[in-house]
Each structure stands twice: as C-alpha cells, then as structure tokens.
Structure 1
Amino acid sequence: MFENRGKKRALLAALLLAAALPLAGCTRYTPPEMESGEAVPESGRAVQKTAETDEGQAAAEGTASGKSGEDESTVRAEAAGPVIEIYDDAWSTDSPREPVKVKGIYISAYAAGSRERMARIIEEIDRTELNAVVIDFKDDNGNITAEVESPMLQELGVCRPYISDLPGLLSELREHGIYTIARVVSLRDPKMGETRPQWCFQSESGEVLRDSDKMAWLDPYNEEVREYLAEVGRQAALAGFDEVQFDYIRFSTNNSLQKAAVKAAGESSKTDIITELAGYIYDELSSEGVYVSADVFGAIISSSGDAQAVGQDYAALASSLDYICPMIYPSHYGDGNFGLDHPDLHPYETIMGALADSKTALDTAGAETIQKTAVVRPWLQDFTASWLKNHIAYGDEEIRSQIQAVYDAGYEEWILWSASNKYHYGALESEEEQQN
C-alpha cells in the first residue's frame, strides 16, 4: 500500500526498564549555508480526553491560543506591525538539511507575534537544553497566522497575520540555533465550516456537522481538502520552517461526525483514509526539502478500538512520516492504565509504559510490513490537569521525570505542551549542566 520513501530507519535502542540511559547532550541546530553564505532556513484503553479534551486543559490554563491570562487585545496589539512579504526563495531546497534531536516547546501564534514574549522565550532556550519550538502556522481557529503568497489561501481569506514578521522571527531563531516546526491544525477547521461548507462533513439535509465545541471538521475523502492541507504545509515550508507538523489529522470522536465518517468511508477503513492523507502530504512536502511529522493520540498505540475510531493506525502512520509525535500526557490516561491507579499521579511510570507500547507496536509491525519508520518524538505534559479528581500539580520534578522516562525508554526527543505557554524552565538542564 505504501511506497518506499527512503531507507528504513533503524529502530531505537532496546527498552531499559531498570537502568537509566545517560542523558543525551542537547544538539543546537546548525542550519546549512546558502550560496550567499547566510544560514537558511497505551496498555488498555485511555480516557477519551483527547484532542476535544485539550479545550478542558485550555480552560484550566487560559486558552488554547496561549494568552496566558493576558488580555487578548493586548496580545494582538503586540503582534501588530508591518506585514513582511514572504518570498519563495526564503530558503534553498537544494541545501542538505540535517535532522535534529528535538527538545522543544509549543508556542502559540499570539506569543510568537509578540517581540517581548519571544525575547523572553529565546533567552530561556539559550540557557537550557531546549533547541526547538513548535509555532502555530494554521491555528485551532483555522487561521493562517502569517501573510503568504498563495493564491489559494488568499482566495479562501484564511490569513490573519498574528505573526507580522514571520521571516524575521524565523531568521532570529536560526541565529540562536533553534530548530523551527510549523504546527498545522488539519481537519478540525471552524473557518472552512463557514467559507467552504462543501469541504466539511454534513448532515443529510446539508447542514455542516459540528463537535461539542461547535467546530466543523474537514472531510479527508475530499480531494480539495487534501490539496488545501498540502498547500498550507507547502507555504509553511516556503516561509522557512524546518519541519511541518500536522495536528488533528484524524476523525472527530463526536457521535454525529463519527456516523458521517463511517458513511463516507464506504468500503475503505478510516485508518486507511488518514494514512493515505498523511502519505499524500508527505509526498507533496518532502520534495520541498522540509521534514513532515504528525501528532497522534497516545491511546491509539495499543488500543485498536481507539485507532479505528479516530482513524490513526500508529505503525502505518509511522511508515508515512519523518517523525511521529504521540501525545502521551499522563492526564489523558484512564485509571488502571499501565497498572497505575491514577496515571496523572505517576508521570515517570506513565511515560515509560506508553513508550514501551510504542516500541512493541513499531517492532512488531516493522518486522512484517514497514519499510520506513518515523522517529518517535512524544509530547509531554507541562500543565496541571485540574479537571481530574485525582491529579497532582505539575512542576519541575514532574516535568523532569517525564523527560527522564523518555531517555530511559531508549528515545531521544520530546516536546513539552502548555496551552498557555507557561513552562517550568527550572526542570530543564542549563548549558553548564550539559557540559558536566
């Protein structure tokens, strides 16, 4: 079913459950040079507090847009400024692009558009082991967060430049050796529900179906939807991002939307459709010289029921991407997973259990069918799940224990998620600690 898109990556080192691996040193990103000499750019079933539940986290932290309690008008005012045109030669696709062992954080478009906030974030990155950022390029509201020179996106009217000088921002990040990843919220798209309802799942009467948060969902069976998402990724690459990461590349868990998806699937399975979508996007973007990744539910790694519900087959998707990013937040696992009473109370053990399942899933599938395996780069929890009855406050110790679990499980990369962009930098190693 899948094309051989490159040499098979060797699977990562065997799982170490008893002894910790030495911490891998942080690798700063050194971009290639242009001709001008300038640098270029889960055991058991998890609780379905998945992407729809991220809004619960956002409510606890502030908002998913990352306002961090600030007045939205203030944040947007900070982002205001002259729009800088983005040119197709912002980076060279002919230059070799070396992979990076990512240790990153998520940054909202609002934060990325604030010079003051980005200055503080860059300062923290410079003094810690962090070496990468994930920035909203297509946000949760369906907005492209910078101006782009794309006739399709301009016609759709989706550009809302919260980041007024994206080329300038990416250039500054490169100067600090920071690897840049564009987050693209894919199939959950309220804006297209208004401007392109024919691209969305609809009821028999032709009304756009929406989830519990009143969000429309794009129909991945629609060829125009596939072309649209590929174009968004292409524009992120042309803007200068090193990698494009697709979030919400799945079906909704909403009952009405689930029924519509099953009806639309016909003889195809939902997992086949999402895998084909990921493969199509990969083929379109890899020729642009950019790495391609996707976020997946942690639950789908070991639960075939969850995998079928949202259309995410872990091993199949891993054969269609450069990086696969399971969201293995302890707060998103139900009581009893990995033999733990309440996983949120046990961050180290939860991450170890999830990554043990990951290794088993990819080892098993790889021995049978996979000709290419994506690097596993998990999302870790840097927020307190206050909506849970049994939870703990997450601070430096809980963040560090998750990171240590990643290393002890034989993996080397991770990204921290905080919807409010409030991170526990004290949990991260300083430059001096890395050298010792």
Structure 2
Amino acid sequence: MRKWIAAGVLALALTGCTRYEPVEEFPDIEYDSTAATEAAQESTEAETEGGEEAVISISAYPERERVKVKGIYVSAYVAGTGDMIDRIIEQMDQTELNAMVIDVKDDQGRITFAMDSPTVNEIGASKVFINDMPALIQKLKDHNIYPIARVVAFRDPYLAEQKPEWSLHVADGGIYRDNKGLAWVNPYRQEVWDYLVEVGKKAGEIGFSEIQFDYIRFAVDRTMKDVVFDPEDTKGRSKEEAITEFISYAYDALAREGLMVSADVFGTIIRSGEDAQAVGQDYGEMARHLDYLCPMIYPSHYGDGNFGIEHPDTQPYDTILNALKGSKDVLAKAKAEHENGRQAIVRPWLQDFTASYLKNYIDYGDEQVRAQIQAVYDAGYDEWILWDAGVSYHYGGLLTPEEAAREEQEIQESRAEEARLEESRAAQSSAAAESGAAAADS
C-alpha cells in the first residue's frame, strides 16, 4: 500500500507560503502516454561533487562556477526587511552557511521586487517586498553568500486569474482551483513556460546566480479529477513528459545566460512510480536536464512506516539516510541507461521546523538539524538547504567555517579510503574467480 506525505499545514505568519499542503489522494486520471521525443543533448559535462569549486564548461553555454551549497531559505518579507536580513547574514558569517534561497516569484504568483519585463508589467505581477534587490544581491556577494532565486512555477493563482486561457480548466470551462481555492496554470502551455523563463532571465540579470523552480508539478489533491485537458495542449504527452520537457526547455534558455538551474521535487517520487505519474515528476529523467535536483525529504513528510520507520519525523537521521540511499539507487540506474548524459547533483532540502500538526512528532532543534546533515554526508552527498517557512533557524546545529573545512577534509579522506578498499575487494574477488575458473579447467 502506498504511503504518502503526512497531512498538515504549517502556520506561516511571515511568508504566507503553503509548501506544507496536505496531500489527500492522487486522482486516477488517464492520459495518452505516447512517448515524447527526448530533447537533443548538445553536449555532456563531468560533475565534481567534492573538493574545490568546479567550473562547468559546456560547448553550448558560457562557463558557470559551481558552488558547494550549504544554504537556507529566506522569504521575500524577511529579505526585504533590513534589520532581519542583516541579522541572518551575521549568523551566516559565523557558520558554514554560504547560500541563500530567496523568493523571486512567490507562492501567490507575485514577483517580489520591481521587475521590468513584458508579461510581469502586462499583468501587474510585481508586489514589492524587496525595495532594492541589486543592493541586496551585492550585500550577499560581499559576504560570499551564493544567491539563489526561488521561482514558484505552476501553482500561480495570480497568473491564472490574469490569464485564464493559460490556466487549468474544469468541464464547464471555468478555472480550476485546488482544495484551498488556489488556481493553477497549465504545465502543458508554452506561454507559461516562456513566462517562467522570462522571470528567470530577469532574476539573472539583477544578480542571482541560480534559478530554482518550485511547484514544478501538477496539483495532487482530489479536485484534479475535475480538470479537463485539451488534446491540443497535451499533444499526447503524459504529465511526466510535460514537466521534463519544460525543464529541458528552461534549462537550455537559462544556462545560455550563464545561470545554474535547479528544481525542487517531492521526496516520495524517488521510488514511487505512482506518485511520480500523479505529480509529473520523473526523478531520473529530471536529473538529466538540471544542474541540481532538490528533493524535499523532510522527515515530517513521510507517513508512518516508510523505510520501516514507525514514525519518520521522530528519526531524522534514519529517514534522511534512507531517502538518499533511494536517490543513489535510482540515479545509478538512470546513469547506466544514459551513460554519456548529464546528471544533476542532488542537493536535498532538510527540515528545520517542528511538525506539531502530526500525531507523532518531535521538537526539531540543533541536534535534529545536525543529524540530518550528517545523514546527507553518510549517504555520499555534499550539499543541502534548510527550510523553515518562518525563517527561524537553529544555527547552533551548524559548524563554524573552520570546523566545516576540517570536516570536509575528513569526509573526503574517509571516502577515498573506502573507495580504495572497495577497489581492493573487487580485485580480490576477480582474482578468486579467475583462480577458480583455472582450477575447474584443469
């Protein structure tokens, strides 16, 4: 029986963000699953997940510098409030944190600063929370903080209301709204893709180094059974094909601007084909068209019994480790199927909030934050981002820059030793097999 994300909604006083929406049920909707033609790969790249920062050079794209991210999410409200953001930067200077994800296009579909672009101006999408975005970006860079623009993609109630022809529709032609009354735009529509790319390019022009798409999926509550898709929009594509094609399209456009591109995905889609089909997120395929894949593997999002853990929220280390082991397995299989293709680096979202809406939960603090980070490293990954919608982080669970540098060196030495031992074991096994074969022949 499929286990899914635990229901519950976190009260988000400062941000209005509803990332913790309860998922009631995946609707059974059938689509023509004609395979879409894969986007042409213009070139390949070698990825470095450890050691010094890597410079990516792809023939079709300008050079882009890769940063090993240890980040936090910051809402537009907090980012635009001087004393708040200054205190956060001060805390970051004292810890291993080196990246900040900031709302550029928020959960309501509003652009959080005065962005001058055709569609934004046409529909009046800007709702200014950050008065001087260039100054904020410069301040971050002065403190060696890597700026990432969060762009909420297909749950966009503002765009859907302003451009109803771009929205999802129900049988009577009305705009589809989810169980919270929020309208979604149609992930199959090229016009929506172009708008998201337009926003991403403008974020890059103002100084962001990376565009991170969130809600890059279809709605998942029961109301989706009421949606009617126009065959002229779907063109025989499944949900997964539509999302993957958008990612490929957006990646090409934004990477040409020198931007890194990442996407947030449900953690549960990693091993569940049913969940992947419902939301339109194919983990292995998405990884082929991104620089970073960011699974939201918050322990609170896993139902009781997942990974054999009675209450996943109460065991943050074990939950994160098991989720990322699944990621390793799925991506290794995908890599084997596409030996010469690009594959994104995995950079998971970690939980820095207490899920008190659950029946079985624990308070999250310094210890739980550090346990999750350790699980990331033990799973063989190096990057992570903390999420708390209220932007109240447990900095005590983080290392100083000096401590982090020593830890990184120890991790790399440990992994090198493990690789050496694995190579030795493989050689011994091969030699034993050859010896056995020779003895059998004689």
Q: Is the 8 A contact 1:345 1:390 kept in 2?
A: yes
Q: Is the 8 A contact 2:108 2:156 kept in 1?
A: yes
Relative to structure 1, the CA distance from residue 111 to residue 261 in structure 2 (aligned partners, 3 Å threshold; closer, same or farther) is farther
Pairing partner for 2:113 from 141, 146, 171:
146
Residue of structure 2 in register with 1:81 after alignment = none
Structure 1 residue identity aligned to 2:363: A
Q: Is the 8 A contact 2:179 2:223 kept in 1?
A: no
Pairing partner for 2:354 from 384, 391, 402:
384
Structure 2 residue identity aligned to 1:255: R
Residue of structure 2 in register with 1:8 after alignment = none
Q: Is the 8 A contact 2:214 2:265 kept in 1?
A: yes
Shift of 1:259: 4.8
Shift of 1:49: 4.3
Relative to structure 1, the CA distance from residue 173 to residue 197 in structure 2 (aligned partners, 3 Å threshold; closer, same or farther) is same
Residue of structure 2 in register with 1:359 after alignment = 328
Pairing partner for 2:13 from 37, 42, 62:
62
**Highest Rg: 1 or 2?**
2
How far apart, CA to CA, are the structure 2 residues paired with 1:354 and 1:104? Answer: 20
Shift of 1:303: 0.3
Give the TM-score of the pair, scaled to structure 2: 0.79
Residue of structure 1 in register with 2:4 after alignment = 47
- 2:268 equivalent to 1:284: no
Provide Cα deviations, 1:97-153, integer angstroms capped at 9, x if missing partner: 310110000000000101100100000000000000000000011101111221221
Pairing partner for 2:147 from 180, 186, 191:
180
Residue of structure 1 in register with 2:274 after alignment = 305
Q: Is the 8 A contact 2:187 2:243 kept in 1?
A: yes
Shift of 1:319: 0.3
SS of residue in 2 equivalent to 1:380:
strand
Provide Cα deviations, 1:38-64, integer angstroms capped at 9, x if missing partner: xxxxxx8442348xx5xx02x1x5354
Residue of structure 1 in register with 2:342 after alignment = 372
> Please, what is the CA RMSD of the aligned residues?
2.0
Identity, % of aligned pairs?
A: 53
Pairing partner for 2:217 from 234, 247, 250:
250
How far apart, CA to CA, are the structure 1 residues paired with 2:225 and 2:96? Answer: 41
Relative to structure 1, the CA distance from residue 253 to residue 62 in structure 2 (aligned partners, 3 Å threshold; closer, same or farther) is same
Relative to structure 1, the CA distance from residue 170 to residue 46 in structure 2 (aligned partners, 3 Å threshold; closer, same or farther) is farther
Give the TM-score of the pair, scaled to structure 1: 0.80
How far apart, CA to CA, are the structure 2 residues paired with 1:193 and 1:433? Answer: 48
How far apart, CA to CA, are the structure 2 residues paired with 1:379 and 1:170? Answer: 22
Q: Is the 8 A contact 1:322 1:374 kept in 2?
A: yes
SS of residue in 1 equivalent to 2:196:
helix
Q: Is the 8 A contact 1:66 1:421 kept in 2?
A: no
Provide Cα deviations, 1:385-426, integer angstroms capped at 9, x if missing partner: 011000000011000000000001000000000000000000
Bigger mean CA deviation after superposition, 107-116 or 221-230: 221-230
Residue of structure 1 in register with 2:89 after alignment = 122
Structure 2 residue identity aligned to 1:184: V
Matches within 5 A, 1:67-106: 96-106=63-73
Pairing partner for 1:271 from 230, 240, 250:
240
Q: Is the 8 A contact 1:202 1:209 kept in 2?
A: yes
| Higher relative contact order, structure no. (Cα contacts within 8 Å, ≥ 6 residues apart) | 1
Q: Is the 8 A contact 1:295 1:324 kept in 2?
A: yes
Residue of structure 2 in register with 1:406 after alignment = 376
SS of residue in 1 equivalent to 2:320:
helix
Residue of structure 1 in register with 2:397 after alignment = 427
How far apart, CA to CA, are the structure 2 residues paired with 1:243 and 1:275? Answer: 19
How far apart, CA to CA, are the structure 2 residues paired with 1:261 and 1:413? Answer: 40
How far apart, CA to CA, are the structure 2 residues paired with 1:221 and 1:197? Answer: 14
SS of residue in 1 equivalent to 2:148:
strand
Matches within 5 A, 1:216-235: 216-235=183-202
Relative to structure 1, the CA distance from residue 244 to residue 46 in structure 2 (aligned partners, 3 Å threshold; closer, same or farther) is farther
Q: Is the 8 A contact 1:383 1:417 kept in 2?
A: yes
Q: Is the 8 A contact 1:66 1:107 kept in 2?
A: no
Shift of 1:266: 5.9
Q: Is the 8 A contact 1:328 1:380 kept in 2?
A: yes
Relative to structure 1, the CA distance from residue 149 to residue 266 in structure 2 (aligned partners, 3 Å threshold; closer, same or farther) is closer
How far apart, CA to CA, are the structure 2 residues paired with 1:261 and 1:301? Answer: 27
Shift of 1:287: 0.5
Q: Is the 8 A contact 1:45 1:334 kept in 2?
A: no
How far apart, CA to CA, are the structure 2 residues paired with 1:259 and 1:66? Answer: 25
Q: Is the 8 A contact 1:261 1:270 kept in 2?
A: no
How far apart, CA to CA, are the structure 1 residues paired with 2:173 and 2:292? Answer: 37
Q: How many residues align?
A: 362
Pairing partner for 2:132 from 159, 165, 176:
165
- 2:283 equivalent to 1:326: no
Provide Cα deviations, 1:339-376, integer angstroms capped at 9, x if missing partner: 10010010000000000000000001110136110000
How far apart, CA to CA, are the structure 2 residues paired with 1:434 and 1:248? Answer: 32
Structure 2 residue identity aligned to 1:48: I
Shift of 1:261: 6.3
Shift of 1:267: 2.8
Q: Is the 8 A contact 1:262 1:270 kept in 2?
A: no
Relative to structure 1, the CA distance from residue 113 to residue 66 in structure 2 (aligned partners, 3 Å threshold; closer, same or farther) is farther
Q: Is the 8 A contact 2:104 2:149 kept in 1?
A: yes
Relative to structure 1, the CA distance from residue 120 to residue 63 in structure 2 (aligned partners, 3 Å threshold; closer, same or farther) is closer
Shift of 1:197: 1.0
Structure 2 gap segments, 5+ residues each: 19-60, 407-442
How far apart, CA to CA, are the structure 2 residues paired with 1:148 and 1:200? Answer: 23
